[in-house]
């Protein structure tokens, strides 16, 4: 790939099998770049090898046969710092983690950006400019050596059809002992031809043809076999031509994916138990305890009040656990939409008033009709803060004052109480922030959830001192007008 700056528009190689995106990329990016579009990873590898002037690759994660991250790993072998941007319309933690692990320059979820083409252009320009600035400062062979040492996949270097080098991961996958157990062996001794892997495949690897394939390889010492993905590239090794063979243990990846699927299913079961079984039973307990009120004396009434408050607290807790699972039990980042923040707040205040009849809720009369960047979990944010303002207030007359104000770019909600207040050194810990997280003595699940949700909205939450006593929880969200962020 050409590292020299040029007066010609930078050459960007786009890899996607989506016909709509394939048509739009040249139209949208063509004013700034020379764009070549190909459908598969192998075609992309061949284009990079043949043209030698590609300055950035933008690849869809979903490709035929193998995905964009597999292509990225292959490019990274010879070009460890080359600009490579992964994009996808449906992002997930698993894909993002793999992209970061493979050292993608950037990872873009297209459907979540209203100005996605401007963002594409910006990312490509930044990546190319940074790469140009760094290219003269590094030595190619030194970078290659460092990369081979750091790669999490198996790496084998072939010269004259035999193994010249193998890293520890390759020896682990092939189940051999020390380095000498592989060095000097011919390739067909390490990966023998069979039903799923032909002599032609072996010849292609030995020649260093651009190549990606999946195959079962047998252990050299046992009868076990592993599902692996093989990728190749031509390299210079000790100033001589060589072939780099990367062995990715996809069987291990599939095991991790199955474990993640099991965890998600367990979260769904826990969510169902929390939402239906526990919550329904507690509603029955609270309801029937209310029927006992006319049949108890004053002393019994005090105990009955405690039962009802505790039952309501458990119901509130089940709602928090439900929201916690919905917020964290998915491998996708939460979507946001324009949400009437003050309207949602007003509705939650009305619910808390009906539950906590001993508390006084004072609400500003001039709540603005404005939308914020949020989603339906915003009600959980307000519910948990309002519950906290009453449940941790030991006064006989709990008072909660609620305000909602807007500025040019934000919506700011304040919820003040007349409780005991929060010490300065605990104002971050109550949200589970810091090294101890939820293990911190002051941390609570409800406020931890609040902090996580507000952060996912790119908002902020903090605690101030109230006067003359108590605390003020302040939630600041990004304002949205006509569906657009201010």
CB 471 within 8 A of CB 465: yes
The number of angstroms, rounded, from the C-alpha of 187 to the middle of its chain's C-alpha atoms is 39
Print burial letters for 430-452: b (CB count within 10 Å at least 16), e (below 16): bbbeeeeeeebebbbebbbbbbb
Burial-class residue 428 by CB neighbours within 10 Å (0-12, 13-18, 19+).
middle
Residue 217 confidence class, pLDDT cut points 50, 70, 90: low
Question: CA angle, corner 17, sides to 15 and 22, nearest 5?
Answer: 70
In this model, does residue 43 exceed pLDDT 90? yes
What pLDDT score was predicted for residue 278? 67
Q: Are 418 and 399 in contact (CB under 8 A)?
A: yes
Distance CA 262, CA 266 (A): 6
Contacts of residue 433, defined as CB under 8 A and 6 or more positions apart, other chains included, come to: 451
Confidence band, pLDDT 50/70/90 cuts, at residue 258: low
pLDDT for residue 224: 47
Residue 59: band (very low, low, confident or very high) from pLDDT cuts 50, 70, 90:
very high
Q: Where are the alpha helices (DSSP H) in 296-377?
A: 298-328, 341-355
Q: Where are the alpha helices (DSSP H) in 151-198?
A: 168-174, 187-190
Which pLDDT band holds residue 311 (cuts at 50, 70, 90)? confident
pLDDT (mean) for 8-35: 89
Residue identified by tokens 């509705």 is: 347
CATH superfamily ID and name for 143-250: PAS domain (3.30.450.20)
User: Is the pLDDT reported for residue 48 higher than 80?
Assistant: yes
CATH number of 11-137: 3.40.50.2300
Question: How buried is residue 215: exposed, middle or buried, by Cβ count under 10 Å (0-12/13-18/19+)?
Answer: middle
Residue 468, both tokens: 């003359």
Q: How many residues does the chain have?
A: 486
For the chain, the maximum distance between any two Cα atoms, rounded to a whole number of angstroms, is 96
* Delimiting residues of CATH 3.40.50.2300 domain(s) in the chain: 11-137
Could you tell me where in the chain the CATH 3.30.565.10 domains are found?
A: 257-485
Three-state SS at 92: coil
Domain with CATH 3.30.450.20 in the chain: 143-250
Is 381 a residue whose pLDDT tops 80? yes
pLDDT at 427 over 60: yes
CATH topology of domain 257-485: Heat Shock Protein 90 (3.30.565)
Mean pLDDT over 475-483 rounds to 83
Q: Tell whether the model's pLDDT for residue 115 goes beyond 70.
A: no
């Amino acid at each position: 790939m050409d590292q020299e700056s040029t007066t010609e528009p930078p050459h960007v190689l786009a890899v996607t099998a989506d016909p709509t995106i394939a048509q739009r990329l040249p139209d949208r990016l063509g004013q700034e770049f020379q764009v070549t579009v190909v459908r598969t990873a192998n075609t992309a590898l061949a284009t990079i090898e043949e043209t030698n002037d590609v300055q950035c690759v933008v690849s869809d994660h979903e490709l035929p046969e193998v995905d964009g991250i597999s292509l990225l790993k292959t490019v990274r072998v010879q070009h460890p710092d080359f600009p490579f941007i992964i994009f996808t319309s449906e992002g997930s933690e698993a894909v993002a983690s793999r992209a970061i692990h493979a050292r993608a320059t950037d990872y873009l979820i297209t459907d979540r950006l209203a100005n996605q083409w401007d963002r594409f252009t910006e990312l490509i320009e930044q990546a190319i400019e940074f790469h140009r600035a760094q290219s003269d400062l590094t030595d190619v062979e030194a970078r290659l050596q460092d990369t081979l040492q750091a790669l999490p996949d198996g790496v084998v270097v072939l010269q004259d059809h035999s193994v010249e080098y193998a890293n520890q991961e390759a020896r682990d996958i092939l189940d051999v002992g020390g380095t000498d157990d592989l060095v000097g062996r011919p390739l067909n001794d390490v990966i023998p031809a069979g039903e799923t892997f032909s002599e032609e495949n072996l010849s292609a690897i030995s020649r260093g043809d651009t190549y990606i394939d999946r195959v079962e390889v047998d252990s050299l010492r046992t009868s076990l076999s592993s599902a692996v993905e093989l990728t190749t590239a031509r390299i210079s090794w000790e100033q001589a031509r060589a072939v780099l063979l990367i062995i990715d243990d996809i069987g291990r990846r599939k095991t991790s994916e199955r474990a993640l699927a099991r965890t998600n299913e367990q979260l769904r079961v826990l969510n169902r138990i929390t939402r239906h079984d526990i919550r329904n039973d507690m509603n029955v307990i609270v309801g029937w305890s209310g029927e006992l009120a006319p049949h108890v004396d004053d002393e019994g009434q005090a105990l009955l009040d405690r039962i009802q408050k505790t039952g309501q607290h458990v119901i509130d807790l089940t709602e928090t656990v439900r929201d916690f699972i919905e917020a964290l039990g998915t491998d996708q980042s939460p979507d946001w939409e324009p949400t009437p923040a003050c309207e949602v707040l007003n509705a939650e205040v009305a619910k808390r008033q009906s539950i906590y009849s001993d508390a006084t809720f004072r609400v500003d009369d001039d709540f603005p009709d404005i939308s914020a960047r949020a989603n339906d979990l915003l009600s959980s944010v307000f519910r948990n803060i309002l519950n906290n303002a009453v449940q941790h207030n030991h006064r006989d007359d709990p008072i909660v004052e609620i305000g909602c104000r807007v500025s040019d770019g934000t919506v700011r909600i304040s919820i003040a109480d007349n409780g005991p207040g929060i010490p300065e050194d605990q104002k971050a810990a109550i949200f589970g922030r810091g090294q101890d997280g939820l293990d911190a003595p002051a941390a609570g699940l409800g406020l931890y959830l609040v902090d996580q949700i507000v952060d996912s909205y790119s908002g902020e939450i903090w605690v101030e001192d109230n006067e003359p006593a108590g605390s003020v929880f302040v939630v600041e969200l990004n304002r949205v007008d006509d569906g657009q962020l201010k």
